[in-house]
Amino acid sequence: MPPRWASGTGGDILRILQLIKLTIANRGNMDKNTFSDFRSKINSYLDHEMSPEDQNNFLQQIKAMPDVQDELRHERLIRSKLRENLKRPMVAPDLADRIKNKLPR
Amino acid sequence: MTREEKFEVELLPHLEALHTFAFHMTGREEDAEDLVQDTYMKAFKFIDKYDQGTNAKAWLFKILKNVYINEFRRKNRRPKQVDYEDASGFHEGDDSALTSYYDLREDVFDNIMGDEVSEAIQSLPEEFRTIIFLCDIEDFSYDEISKILEIPVGTVRSRLFRARNMLKEKLKDYATTVGIRDRRGHSEDSAVD
C-alpha cells in the first residue's frame, strides 16, 4: 500500500521527484566528453545525418535527459531564427516569364 | 513531356530559392537576377541530362554555383577565395561536437533584423557563406552539399564547423555592440550564456 502522499497529486509529486533524481543522476554521470558526444549527435540529427533507426534511438535515449533536450530545442530554434531573419529579396513578378521568353526555340 | 514542359514543371518552381541563393552569393539584387537567368539558360541547355523526378533543386543549385564561379565571378573580376581549410591547417579531427550554435543566446535575434543576419552571413568568406546557406538555410544534406559543391563529405563537415563558428562570432559581436541585455534581469556585456 503506497503512503498517502504517493497517491493522487502526491503521486505526481513522487514522479516529479523521481524525474529530478534521474536528472541529477544524469548530470552527474554526464561528463564533458559525454555531453560533447550528445552535441555531436544533435548536429547529426538536425543535419539529417542519422538513419531513421538512429533518429528513433536518439530521441528515445534523450527522453530522460532534459539538458540534452534543452540543447536540441536551442539548436533547432537558432537555426529557425537564422532562416526567419535572412533577407530574401523579392523576385520580380515577371522574372519567370522573362526566363521562359529567353529560352531558345 | 517536352523539354519546355519539363523545364516549367520541374525547374521553375525553384526560382525563389535560387534567387535568394544568388543574392547571397553576389550581394546585389541586380546581379542575383542575372545569375538566376544565366543558371536557367544553362539548365535548359542541359535539361536532357537531368533525370526527371530526381533532385531538381540540388541540380539547379549546382549549376548556379558553377555559373557563378566560372562565368559570373570572372566577368566581375572577383578574385578567387583562399582555400581556408588549407590556409588554416584545419583538420577534420577537430571537435565536431562544437559544430553548433550551442553557446549563442536565443535573444540575440530579438534585436536583430533580417539585414543583420544577412550581413553577418555575407561577411563570411565565400566558401563558408555558401555552406551555411546550403545547410542551415536550405536544409540540404551533407551528401547533397557534397554533390553541389563537388567536395568530399568530410570537407563539408569540416567547412561547416568553421562556418558556424565564424557566423556565431559575428552574431555575438553584433549583439555585444547593440548591448543586448540578459532577460533574466541582470545586464550582460556578452551575448553568451
pLDDT digits (tens, 9 = 90+) for A49-87: 999 999 999 999 999 999 899 989 988 988 888 898 888
With a cut of 50, say whether residue A33 has pLDDT above it.
yes
Using a CB–CB cutoff of 8 Å, tell me whether A85 touches chain B. Answer: yes
Nearest residue on chain B to A83, judged by CA atoms? B137
AA identity, residue A87: K
Structural domains of chain B sorted by starting position, each given as residue range(s) with its CATH number in brackets: 3-75 (1.10.1740.10), 84-177 (1.10.10.10)
- A22's grid cell: 534521474
Task: Name the residue among A37, A83, A85 with its Cβ closest to that of B112.
Answer: A85
Classify burial at A96, counting beta carbons within 10 Å of its beta carbon; exposed 0-12, middle 13-18, buried 19 or more: middle
Mean pLDDT value across chain A = 80
Chain A CB contacts of B170 under 8 Å are none
**pLDDT in the model for residue A28:** 53
Alpha-carbon distances of B163 from A5, B19, B49, B129, rounded to whole Å? 53, 22, 32, 7
Predicted confidence pLDDT, tens digits, chain B (193 residues)? 889 999 999 999 999 999 999 999 998 899 999 999 999 999 999 999 888 778 999 999 999 999 999 877 777 665 555 444 443 433 344 444 445 566 666 666 666 655 788 888 889 999 999 999 999 999 999 999 999 999 999 999 999 999 999 998 888 887 777 665 444 334 444 443 3
Residue with cell 542575372: B34
Highest mean pLDDT among A5-9, A16-20, A83-87: A83-87
Grid cell digits, residue A80 = 529557425
Point out the residue among A42, A85, A92 whose CB comes nearest to the CB of B100. A42
pLDDT at A15: 63
Query: What pLDDT, on a 0 to 100 scale, did the predictor assign at position A21?
Result: 60
pLDDT (0 to 100) of residue B80 = 54
Pick the residue of B11, B39, B95, B100 with the most A CBs within 10 A to test the interface with A by mutation: B100
Q: Is A32 an interface residue toward B (CB < 8 Å)? A: no
B window 29-48, beta carbon within 8 A of A = 29, 32-33, 36-37, 40-41, 44
Rounded (10°) CA dihedral B155, B161, B163, B165 = -160
- Give yes or no for B121 touching A (CB within 8 A): yes
Domain boundaries defined on chain A:
1-30, 31-85
DSSP letters of chain B? --HHHHIIIIIGGGHHHHHHHHHHHHS-HHHHHHHHHHHHHHHHHTGGGSPTTS-HHHHHHHHHHHHIIIIIHHHTTPPPPP-HHHHHT--TTS-GGG-S-TTB-GGGGGG--HHHHHHHHHTS-HHHHHHHIIIIIT---HHHHHHHHT--HHHHHHHHHHHHHHHHHHHHHHHHHTTPPPTTSS--S-SB-
Return residues 163-182 of B near A (CB < 8 Å). none
For B23, nearest residue in chain A (alpha carbons): A89
